[in-house]
Amino acid sequence: MEVKVVIPSHKRWERVLTHKAVANTILCVEESQKELYQEHHPNTEIVTHPDSVKGLALKRDWIIKHFGSVFMLDDDIKAMRRVYSEKGEKTNVEPETAYEIIQTTAQACREAGFYLFGFSNAPSPIAFDPFNPIQLKGYFTGCAHGVLSGSKLWYNPDIICNEDYWISCLNAYYHRGAYKDSRFYFAQQDTFVNRGGLAEFRNIDAEKKDFEYLQRVFGKEIVTLRKSPGKGHEYQKSLKLPF
């Protein structure tokens, strides 16, 4: 079972990084942007969707329906890195190895009976638990997560910029578990304010609407605001998922 590794991208043809971080990736873009992406990435496979598919949630939904089993990566990934490390140790994973890790993780997820899989969203070695490297529930970051064929998962177009929270909650509701290998994570650039990509749609009003919508659907006990948001915006969220 090969899982396709797909990079959703939008109006960022000259700034895609992820194809250098992971081998055998596929760019997924609007039909009208295909030539520009081909010009900048002649050696990368490009699959197009209709221009009518607008917004990241609809794009992701199109991707899982088109490819079946798929792992999606944002276009600004610098490298897959090991979370466990000693001070001064190089943690970058080679692109070919990163691809193989994605494939073996997908297979483990399938054998465990789950459909949503991914890796750590906490890059600090201090946050790594060597006695619990594989986690079977929780939140999966939007920048890097996979969905296997046969699931009940879908991406809601009413969610503007928090489709990762949506899919994590929906997966917990339907499938009661997931597969996360916390030994690795994907390092990306800061894109909250950035031309193209999700930045074209993301703003505080959208974050507020998403937060209120998620609470209405999944409940205020599940979707809460962070007590200490730190950097970022006032609608940064926490999930309390039982599965």
Mean model confidence pLDDT for the chain: 92
Number of domains in the chain: 1
- pLDDT tens digits, residue range 161-206? 999 999 999 999 999 999 999 999 999 986 544 455 555 556 889 9
- Residue 217, number of CB atoms within 10 A of its CB: 16
Token pair for residue 228? 């200490």
- Residue 227, number of CB atoms within 10 A of its CB: 6
The CATH code of the domain that includes 53 is: 3.90.550
Domain extent for 156? 4-239
Q: CA angle at residue 130 from 126 to 133, to 5 degrees?
A: 105
- Residue 42, number of CB atoms within 10 A of its CB: 8
Which whole-number Å values give the CA distances from 171 to 71, 97, 167, 168, 179, in the listed order? Answer: 15, 28, 6, 5, 11
pLDDT(217) > 90: yes
- Whether residue 182 contacts residue 134, with contact meaning beta carbons closer than 8 Å, is answered with yes
- pLDDT tens digits, residue range 120-174? 998 888 888 999 999 999 999 999 999 999 999 999 999 999 999 999 999 999 9
Of the ranges 15-19, 101-105, 121-125, 209-213, which one carries the lowest mean pLDDT score? 121-125
How far, in Å, CA of 144 to CA of 165, rounded?
Answer: 13
Which whole-number Å values give the CA distances from 152 to 19, 130, 174, in the listed order? Answer: 29, 32, 7
Q: Cβ neighbours of residue 203 under 8 Å, at least 6 residues apart?
A: none
Question: In the prediction, which pLDDT does 213 show?
Answer: 97
How far, in Å, CA of 99 to CA of 83, rounded?
Answer: 17
- Of 63, 56, 87, 74, which Cα lies nearest the Cα of 15? 74
